[in-house]
Chains A and B, each alone.
Chain A
Amino acid sequence: MARGIWVFAEQRNGELKKVVFELLSEGRKIADQLGQELWAILLGKEVKGLVEKLAPYGADKVLVADDEKLEKYSTGTYTKVISDLIREHQPFAFFLGNTAMGKDLAPRVAERVGTGLSSDCTGIELVDGNLHFVRPIYAGKAFAKTVCPEARPVMATIRPNVFPVSEPDAARQAEVVEVPVQVGMEDLKAIVKEVVKQASGRVELTEADIIVSGGRGMKGPENFKILEELADVLGAAVGASRAAVDAGWREHQYQVGQTGKTVSPSLYIACGISGAIQHLAGMSSSKVIVAINKDPEANIFKVADYGIVGDLFEIVPLLTEEFKKLLA
């Protein structure tokens, strides 16, 4: 019988993704309800030190595949190691973050082990011993509740920022199991030649707790400086509408919306954004929405929790000052 809840402990350059702690926290609850163990799966080179960061969040066991060939993420090698482990241990469920890596890896693993996958989930429920997932579809304009009734493991990628991280318990220990790495040339067809880092130092949009976003109302690329300043004070990410992206003011990876990123921060501040349906689709699951727009009829005010009708060039710097005072 398939047993155990597994979480993919995604790391890059020795740093664990925040979503890993969210998955462990949620995974722990499910494991307890089922009376099963929670395992973290950790791949990379010289990553054993990360185990002590995983244990306090509830991992009973950490399977570590530590090998030179796993230093850089590659679909082929990671898929091979993980699907071998799944075949050997037959877990009941396996969760990954819905990150660039998770989205690349999860469908490949699911296909290789012959199971289903619910992607980009924002809710998990245990019903009669099976897991039900909630997934936003049509960029959040609707939800689907899914189940994987027979195939095992039940796999899901989970949207970052949805599940709260539980209080770490420093006394918790996890058993460490080193896994032999057997990957060959056939697993290395696609190779990563280079990783280009953007030197922004800002939190990533999909992981950000606060997002300050600008639209066509920003008038030009240079004016995004005032949003950056506000974001700096709040530790926020900076997003953009498609109009701002298509005008070339921001790179497309910062676009929020139906054909951009879907985000669910605690606070989304929309500046000079009209609130077109495609934009709302990407951000309307934000907990609190603030709109700053000079047009009182703008659609964005229909979804905003708080709105200021006015000139963003005047309001945004004032807000930055107020937050500075508050957070000083």
Chain B
Amino acid sequence: MKIIVCLKQTFDTEAKIQLTDDGKISDEGVSLIINPYDEFAVEEALKIKENMGGEVVVVSIGKERAQEAIRQALAMGADRGILITDEALEGGDEYTTATVLAKVIGNMEYDLILCGNKAIDDQSSQVAVRLAEKLGLPQINVVTKLEVSDGKVVGHREIEGGSEIIEAPLPAVVTAQKGLNEPRYPSMKGIMQARKKELKKLSLQDIGLEPSAVGASGAKVKVLEYSLPAPRKAGKIIEGEPAEAARELVRLLREEAKVI
């Protein structure tokens, strides 16, 4: 089984979001992690490889330091990594991201492509599906259980109030959801080995894409501005005996907040 995992480096979930002077999202002092959903994808790929043999290749688009995230996946057990990094990619959207991934992955060998079902930063849950469409592959989205056998894949996918069991022929794109597995921690040995594994860096020129096709100039959707929510103000603490407090809360929800 040749498995490709698409991985994005994101802000730590603890990160406080601030804007720069020119209104962009500031990354100053923010620690970076593998997008948690992509970590489920890496873990699943490693488990499949352990069962069936094969290779796990991690592909990421990002800045230079996204290498850290790829190294971590290599330390978990992935075989090699590819980072596509280029200034011309700035300002892209899900469409241009999928364009770049499809260009790189389209030239590779694969039986299965695993991605996270969304990235916790831009939260768009589009790239994996767009990639599937570009490569002409079926998709099983938001999967909490996966069985891979010769030539096909069966995934349990979360829907409102239940789940769907979906079968698709390989190759296919599958997106991981929390519940699929518990990502392993890299072992000391894994970390040592990861240093020697191949991590290839590619520019747009290397992959044969014109700068005009990607980044801000290729994007279909543009961001006009970023803003922060108004901070919530602490409200009323309702004092008194439990029974009294409960009665008062119900009254306030009805009469003041008008939500009941």
Contacts and interface: CB of A to CB of B under 8 A. Distances in A.
Interface in A195-242: 195-198, 200, 204, 206-207, 210, 234
B193 interface: no
Interface in B160-197: 160-169, 172, 177-179
Contacts of A296: 237
A145 B225 contact: yes
A107 B221 contact: no
A120 B164 contact: no
Given A100-B160, A307-B235, A326-B260, A138 B243 contact: no
B122 A195 contact: no
B158 A100 contact: yes
Interface of chain A, main secondary structure: mixed
A111 to B, nearest CB: 4
A108 interface: yes
Contacts of A327: 260
A116 to B, nearest CB: 3
Contact-residue size bin, chain A (C-beta under 8 Å from the other chain): 35 or more
Interface stretch (A38-46, A55-63, A84-92, A312-320): A312-320
Interface stretch (A27-35, A162-170, A173-181, A186-194): A186-194
Contacts of B167: 190-191, 193
A142 B13 contact: no
B47 interface: no
Interface string B129-147: 1101110011111101000
A107 B172 contact: no
A151 B220 contact: yes
Contacts of B36: 259
B172 A306 contact: no
A112 B139 CA distance: 14
Contacts of B178: 252, 255, 259-260
B123 A138 contact: yes
B240 to A, nearest CB: 9
Contacts, number: 258
A210 B253 CA distance: 12
A210 B259 CA distance: 9
A326 B259 CA distance: 13
B229 interface: yes
B159 interface: yes
A103 B125 contact: yes
Interface string B219-251: 111111111110010111110001101110110
Contact of B259 (A267, A301, A303): A267
B98 interface: yes
A287 interface: yes
A308 B238 contact: yes
Nearest to B120: A258
A251 B180 CA distance: 12
A75 interface: yes
B202 interface: no
A114 B221 CA distance: 12
A146 B249 contact: no
B200 interface: no
Interface string B1-45: 000000000010111110100000100000000001100000000
A16 interface: no
A253 B156 CA distance: 13
Nearest to A156: B221
B178 to A, nearest CB: 5
A105 B169 CA distance: 19
23 contacts: A99-B160, A103-B141, A104-B142, A107-B130, A114-B220, A119-B124, A135-B123, A137-B121, A141-B15, A141-B229, A142-B229, A145-B226, A148-B222, A195-B162, A195-B165, A197-B161, A258-B120, A259-B120, A287-B259, A305-B257, A308-B242, A315-B246, A318-B242
Interface of B: 11, 13-17, 19, 25, 36-37, 93-95, 98, 120-127, 129-130, 132-134, 137-142, 144, 154, 156-169, 172, 177-179, 219-229, 232, 234-238, 242-243, 245-247, 249-250, 252-254, 257, 259-260
